[in-house]
Structure 1
Amino acid sequence: MDKSNLLIIVTVISLFIAFFLAFFLLTVKNRNKPSNSLFAFYLILIAIDVSEPIVSLIIDRPSNLGMFRSTFAFLQIPVFYLYVMSVCYSDFRLKSKHLLHFLPFLIVNIILIPDFYSVDLISKFDFIKNRQSMIEFQFIHILIHIQLTAYLIAIFLILRRTKKLYLENFAGTNIHSYHWLFQFTVVLTILYSVALLKNIFKFSDYPEISEWIKIFGLVLQMFIVCWYLYKALNNPHLFRNIDSKLKLVSDIISEQKTTELSFINEQEHNEDLQKLKKYMSDEKPFLDPSITIQNISENINIPVRELSVLINHQLGKHFYDFVNTYRIEYAMEILKNPAKTKVTVLEILYEVGFNSKSSFNTAFKKHTGNTPTSYRKTLHNSIL
């Protein structure tokens, strides 16, 4: 089987997977409807992009439809950016201002009107043949790489900020959602870099290498998309969105004067700290897997802003780690209890407020230097 036939087969399979997953996302009923719709749109754009070998079989000459299809590449990364926004922020809503993200797509198609869309077939052939020397093509080529770079940087910054906000305000296992999304974005960055490499070979003296890179990219792209959707759809509860209006503690601190923070509020901070520690020890709110800083704020009558500064700045811990410390201490008490030697580690992790074995093991090892199982064995051996 030559590479042309292999490319067609891989393209057909990729199109089927993309459209099937898009249809599923648009029809499945859950609370993540906006995010699902945006990701479905992203998959459809991918399908349009990878359909080039099929389109070339049907239309074997330059055409307006073929060129218009290729410009849809300018919509991919903006739609993925909006998807990330919808996953990260609970107050995200599609608005008319988001149409500005489609401006590069519109600009490119306007540029192509005089030199491609509105000319005869011979002129279209000339445009394709001499495209590397044409200013319009060079501008389009530079624009798409600037767009990709700018959006990928923006996406990584959003994920970084959202993860910090989550750690400062929540103590569940939802942090894994952002790890997946970060990993998926990293892989997309690699895929887009592979596409750039493919284009370099396409216009070099080794165009056949470009075809093999394209086949590899198609297979890898669909594999990664399926992996990510499998994770997300099987764990829909993990995507706990953050209010975009929340402020990072570092931003709150920068808004306050140093003297006010260190002198005027010192006594108040100490009183609040004692109140917080007493509440955590007596009421054990950390046993709730979905506990948030807002919940604690309401129960001890300390404003969220002040409580966030107290935990994340004064104590030098994220709220996530602060709560997990209490959970691990409580788990250690259970593991030390001779009457509970038959209680399994899985039962303990659920009892102390975790709902993920991996999160429990990671937090326990970070706090004690051992896994829960090793810790229990060490205690048992010391008794013997």
Structure 2
Amino acid sequence: MVFLVISVFYQEIIFKNNLPYFTDKNESLLNLLTIPMAVIPVIYIAFCFRALKKHKEMLPDFYSTLERINLNWLKYILLSLIVLFIIIVGTLSLSTRWNYFPLNSTSKIIGSIQGFYLLCIVFFSLRQSIIYNQNTGIKDSRKKKDEVIPVDERSKILSERLLDYMRIEKPYLDEELSLIKLSSLLNVSTNQLSQVINQNLNTTFYKFINSYRVEEVKQKLKNIEFDHYSILGIAFESGFNSKSTFNKIFKEETGMTPSQFKNYKS
């Protein structure tokens, strides 16, 4: 936009090595125009880090299984983009000011690197099927948390309906259960269900679902029909899919390790 506004005051713009130059060769003006071109990518990367941090903070409100959600690859891509940006700026400077590199070759190299980055983003995105196979409304969660909505009669009814459904249908046995899936099973919006869990039940979706899984494990540990199962096998039968996560959540809920609980009950 700055470039277009300033170009109005010039009769002609010539192109040298496919880059635009004003005909009066005003170096100070050219340097001024390069400043926003250099700063804007840095600002975008900073906002990406901020958005990634907020997204990770809101995951417990939408997923019952977090160990399969790994977003570190996004952080590494952003960090490598900073390095790539510095290299590109340096290469372009050498190409345009001192003709150190042929500009055509430089453009091909940069295009190839950008294509490689796009391939990496698509590849790792598809591996996160638990997220990208669902149309989530995570961006709405922050507003919902900032504004405490009064509990009305409808939310109380939905709360009771939710608890009954959890007790009878046991949807928590699905290791990939998410807020989207559960709201679809209950035929309510994700915002309504999230409000009930966060405000009526005063917990997050992650803790809510895993508390039921812990209770399921406790019941099966006391049931002689599951004596031939290992503790980890019972955990997997109850909706957990990670040993470390199971041990951590079980101890948080009961104050004992699974082995201590089994020995105590026996």
TM over 0.5: yes
Any idea what SS the aligned residue of 1:114 has? Answer: strand
Identity %: 19
Out of 100, 121, 129, the residue aligned to residue 237 of structure 1 is 129
Q: Deviations over 1:42-93 (max 9, x none)?
A: xxxxxxxxxxxxxxxxxxxxxxxxxxxxxxxxxxxxxxxxxxxxxxxxxxxx
Out of 169, 172, 197, the residue aligned to residue 311 of structure 1 is 197
Query: Aligned partner of 1:288: which letter?
Result: D
Work out the CA distance in 1 between the residues paired with 2:200 and 2:17.
63
Out of 228, 245, 250, the residue aligned to residue 362 of structure 1 is 245
1:253 and 1:284, CA in 2 relative to 1: closer, same or farther beyond 3 A? same
Out of 169, 184, 187, the residue aligned to residue 79 of structure 2 is 187
Corresponding residue for residue 153 of structure 1: 46
Deviation at 1:276, TM superposition (A): 1.4
1:376 and 1:310, CA in 2 relative to 1: closer, same or farther beyond 3 A? closer
1:118 and 1:146, CA in 2 relative to 1: closer, same or farther beyond 3 A? closer
Decide whether the 8 Å contact of 1:311 with 1:318 is kept in 2: yes
Decide whether the 8 Å contact of 2:60 with 2:66 is kept in 1: no
Any idea what SS the aligned residue of 2:158 has? Answer: helix
Corresponding residue for residue 109 of structure 2: none
1:117 and 1:297, CA in 2 relative to 1: closer, same or farther beyond 3 A? closer
Unaligned runs of 5+ in 1: 1-102, 120-126, 203-220
1:284 and 1:137, CA in 2 relative to 1: closer, same or farther beyond 3 A? same
Corresponding residue for residue 69 of structure 2: 176
Decide whether the 8 Å contact of 2:251 with 2:258 is kept in 1: no
Decide whether the 8 Å contact of 2:220 with 2:234 is kept in 1: yes
1:1-384 → structure 2 map (5 Å cutoff): 114=14, 116-117=16-17, 134-137=28-31, 139-140=33-34, 142-160=35-53, 162-163=55-56, 166-173=59-66, 176-177=69-70, 179-188=71-80, 191=83, 195=87, 232=124, 235=127, 237-240=129-132, 243=135, 248-252=140-144, 261-262=150-151, 265=152, 267-300=153-186, 302-337=188-223, 339-354=225-240, 356-357=241-242, 361-362=244-245, 364-369=247-252, 375-379=257-261, 382=264
TM-score, normalised by the number of residues in structure 2 = 0.61
Unaligned runs of 5+ in 2: 20-24, 95-112
Structure showing greater relative contact order (alpha-carbon pairs closer than 8 Å, 6 or more residues apart)? 2
Query: Aligned partner of 1:145: which letter?
Result: A
Deviation at 1:309, TM superposition (A): 0.7
Decide whether the 8 Å contact of 1:249 with 1:309 is kept in 2: no
Query: Aligned partner of 1:116: which letter?
Result: K
Decide whether the 8 Å contact of 1:336 with 1:379 is kept in 2: no
Instruction: Give the root-mean-square deviation of aligned CA atoms.
Output: 4.9
Q: Deviations over 1:133-177 (max 9, x none)?
A: 75424532x224322222113323443454466543443458614
Work out the CA distance in 2 between the residues paired with 1:136 and 1:316.
57
TM-score, normalised by the number of residues in structure 1 = 0.46
